[in-house]
């Protein structure tokens, strides 16, 4: 129960990081005079936008898996994997802004903990279904 507070903090830290990626879009929009509703027109803006979108795209894979892993396995390990996800996402955002072709490194660092959280939860749920039935 106490450890769940740790997963809450990691969850909200992940969301604050995600919010930071959307702030960078707003900043790049203003600096490069991209007038809404346009989402193209300058490489810096388009990079910032893709970083935000890719982070958004991964939140449904990451967050439910984080909490299912907490439920099935361990809040402490889930929290540690969540921190690794944030680290990978920071790398991805900074690398992508410099040079989109370098985005694989941070992408891999955030994909790894997501896979462990997702397949760890799936394995446990399937094992329990197999043992106890529906």
For its own copies, the binding residues (CB under 8 A) are: 2-3, 5-6, 8-9, 11-12, 15-16, 18-19, 22, 35-39, 43, 46-47, 49-50, 52, 56-57, 59-61, 63-65, 68, 76, 96, 100-101, 103, 118, 121-122, 125-126, 128-129, 132-134
Residue 90 or 122 with smaller CB distance to its own copies: 122
Nearest approach, Cβ of residue 83 and its own copies (Å): 13
User: How far apart (Å, rounded) are the C-alpha atoms in residues 73 and 19?
Assistant: 28
Residue 57 or 94 with smaller CB distance to its own copies: 57
Nearest approach, Cβ of residue 124 and its own copies (Å): 8
The Cα angle at residue 106 between residues 60 and 68, in degrees rounded to 5: 30
Nearest approach, Cβ of residue 87 and its own copies (Å): 19
Residue 109 or 121 with smaller CB distance to its own copies: 121
The answer for residues whose C-beta is within 8 angstroms of residue 77's C-beta and 6 or more apart is 69
User: How far apart (Å, rounded) are the C-alpha atoms in residues 115 and 49?
Assistant: 24
User: Which residue, 89, 50, 70, is CA-closest to 5?
Assistant: 70
Alpha-carbon distances of 126 from 16, 63, 65, rounded to whole Å: 33, 20, 14
């Amino acid at each position: 129960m106490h450890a769940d507070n740790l997963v809450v903090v990691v969850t909200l830290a992940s969301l604050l990081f995600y919010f930071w990626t959307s702030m960078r879009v707003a900043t790049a929009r203003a600096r490069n005079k991209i007038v809404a509703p346009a989402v193209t027109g300058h490489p810096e803006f388009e990079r910032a936008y893709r970083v935000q979108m890719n982070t958004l795209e991964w939140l449904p894979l990451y967050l439910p898996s984080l909490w299912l892993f907490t439920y099935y396995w361990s809040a402490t390990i889930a929290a540690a994997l969540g921190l690794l996800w944030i680290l990978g996402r920071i790398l991805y955002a900074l690398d992508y802004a410099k040079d989109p072709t370098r985005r694989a490194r941070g992408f891999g660092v955030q994909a790894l903990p997501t896979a462990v959280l997702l397949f760890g939860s799936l394995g446990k749920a399937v094992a329990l279904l197999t043992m106890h039935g529906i």
